[in-house]
Structure 1
Amino acid sequence: MRFALAGFDLFHGVLETFASAGWTPVSLFSFVTDDRVNSNAEIVSHATRHGLPLQLSRIDEAALRTLRDLDCDVLVVAGYGWRIPDWTPYVRHAINFHPSLLPQARGPYPLMRAILDGHRDWGVTCHRIAPEFDAGDILAQERFALAADECHESLQLKVQMAGCRLARQVAYHFDALWAARVPQADGSHWPMPSDADRTLDFTQPVDRVMTQVRANGLHECIAHVGGSVLYVRRAAGWHERHAWEPGTIAHVSGRRYVIAVPDGFVALLEWSALSLARRADIGP
């Protein structure tokens, strides 16, 4: 099979898996990343090593025509934020790897909410690309368990590993899976987390606040502390009886703040006064 892949490094293992299964890459697509929480370094490196064309702008009909000229059989999408135009006149197949068990959690990035909502079962889905995001017929799924103390980075790694297992299954059994694909039932759509979703609420119990911290991980939470806005990368929490009002700064040690919550304390251990986006603009 000759294929093109559109995505970034969260799913770079999908590219490697298809190639190692004997599929031939003819072109790669990605987008400009911040190289902090998102990266396409692996995709760019693969293109450079193998002399493949790489496009960092949106896939349009001209790009699809180029794929047709390259005799591309399958367009594989894995972590690509732009909608794919009608591909049917240009390639025989187009599939997407989505980091949830569809039809649950359609949308751009469901991993944080999976942790916030306390899911204990998760997975990756391979489906045919349809006009609506994440709504096409399902070829296959790969499930895995989530821990009670799952964090964003461990979930990302589990998604990567499951994506590779799923890609191997799809690569070796593509024709059969395509022929047997199953339409999706009605599902749910989860929007991209907003700043409100990322904001720590110190009127909530310790466990809830720490779940927010784990769910956001290196994407960072937002904390309003003493009239300032802090972007929190790492925190610790514990249960303890006290008389402090929730949200009060109970202790300061250097750059570490201990904030009271109703049933204990949350310590902000690693934070910045600048957002990730602002720090990316400034540079190292």
Structure 2
Amino acid sequence: MRFAFAGCDRNLSIFEALVAASWQPVKIFSVPEQEGIAYHGALLACANDHHISLQLDPLRPHDLLALEALACDILVVGSYNYKIPDWNEHLPYAINFHPSPLPIGRGPYPLVNAILHEHRHWAVTCHRIDATYDTGAILAAQTFAIDQFDTHESLNIKIQIAAAQLAAQIGQKFGALWDAASIQSEGDYWPLFSAADRTIDFATSVHQIRLQLQAFGKLECCARVNHQEARVKSGYAWFEPHNLAIGQVAHEYASNIVIACKDGFVVFNDWQFVQD
């Protein structure tokens, strides 16, 4: 199979698994880098190794025409921010690897809500690309467990591992899986997380604050500390009775700051004030 890949570095494992299955890459599409979410340096190295081009501009209809001229069989998508144009007139196949157990968690970045909503089972799903986001018929899925200790970073790694396993299966059995793809049932769409989702309110519980710190990780939470806006990359919260005012700084040591919340304390380990 001759394939084009559209995605970013965190789904490099998909590209590598398909190459290992003797699929031949003809072009890579990626996105401008966004700290914590999207990088393309590793894919650029792959493009150079395979003597193919990497494009950062959005994939447009004329790019599909160019892929047709390259005798491309299939467009493979994983973590690509741009909508894929109608491919049916130019390519035999197009599939997407989505980091959720579809039809649950359609949308641009479901990892955060997987932790905020306390899911205990998760998946990467491979589906046909159709006219609407993440709704195409499902070829296969790779499931795995997540627990109360998982963070944004650990879930990201689990998804990469599952994606590689799923891509290996797709690479070996594509024709049969495409023909047997199952129509999705009713599902739900999760929009990209909001500023409110990532803002820590010390009047809420230790449980809620823990979930936010785990769900966002290096994507950062926001908080008001001593009446100043702060960005938080890591921290921990624990239950403990106290008589302090909510939001009061209880302790400071080196770069660590401890703040009282409704039913305990939260410590920020890696954080900084937002510069005006």
What's 1:65 paired with?
65
> TM-score if structure 1 supplies the norm length?
0.94
- Structure 2 CA distance for aligned equivalents of residues 132 and 194 of structure 1: 22
Question: d(CA) in 1 for partners of 2:34 and 2:230?
Answer: 20
2:12 matched residue in structure 1? 12
Note closer, same or farther for the CA distance 1:36–1:262 as it changes in structure 2 (3 Å cut): closer
Larger CA deviation: 16-25 vs 45-54: 45-54
Measure the CA separation in 1 of the matches of 2:35 and 2:118: 29
* Counterpart in the other structure of 2:153: 153
Q: Deviations over 1:178-202 (max 9, x none)?
A: 0000111110000000111000111
Taking the aligned partners of 1:35 and 1:249, their CA distance within structure 2 comes to 30
Q: Which amino acid aligns with 1:10?
A: R
Whether the 8 Å CA contact 1:4–1:75 is kept in 2: the answer is: yes
Deviates more, 1:265-274 or 1:225-234: 265-274
Tell me the number of residue pairs that the alignment of Structure 1 and Structure 2 aligns: 276
Alignment of 1:89-238 (within 5 A): 89-238=89-238
2:3 paired residue number: 3
The DSSP-based 3-state class of the residue aligned with 1:173 is helix
What do the CA deviations read for 1:90-126 (whole angstroms, capped 9, x no partner)?
1000000000010101000000110011000000000
Asked if the contact 2:23/2:171 (under 8 Å) is kept, the reply is yes
Larger deviation: 198-207 or 165-174? Answer: 198-207
Match of 1:240 in 2: 240
Q: Shift in Å at residue 67 of structure 1? A: 0.3
Q: Does structure 1 residue 271 correspond to structure 2 residue 267?
A: no
1:173 corresponds to which letter in structure 2?
A: K
The structure-2 alpha-carbon separation of the partners of 1:38 and 1:246, relative to structure 1 and needing over 3 Å to count, comes to: same
User: What is residue 23 of structure 1 aligned with on the other side?
Assistant: 23
Provide the residue aligned with 1:282 in structure 2: none
Q: CA deviation at 1:204?
A: 1.5
CA–CA separation in structure 2 for the residues paired with 1:163 and 1:236: 30
Structure 2: runs of 5+ lacking an equivalent:
none
Distance 1:28 1:2 in 2: 12
**1:38 positional shift:** 2.4
Partner SS for 1:83? coil
**More deviation in 89-98 or 229-238?**
229-238
| Residue identity opposite 1:89 in structure 2 | E
Please state how far the C-alpha of 1:43 moved relative to its aligned partner. Answer: 0.7
Q: Distance in 1 between matches of 2:274 and 2:167?
A: 38
> Which residue of 1 is the match for residue 82 of structure 2?
82
RMSD: 1.3
- Aligned equivalents of 1:240, 1:137: Cα separation in 2: 49
CA contact (8 A) 2:31 2:39 kept: no
Distance in 1, Cα, partners of 2:269 & 2:100: 31
**Runs of 4 or more above 3 Å deviation:** none
Question: Are the counterparts in 2 of residues 206 and 261 from structure 1 also a CA contact under 8 Å?
Answer: yes
User: 1:259, 1:38 → 2: CA distance?
Assistant: 32
Percent of paired sites with the same residue = 42
1:252 match: secondary structure: strand
Aligned partners of 1:197, 1:224: CA distance in 2, in Å? 14
Gaps of 5+ in 1: 279-284
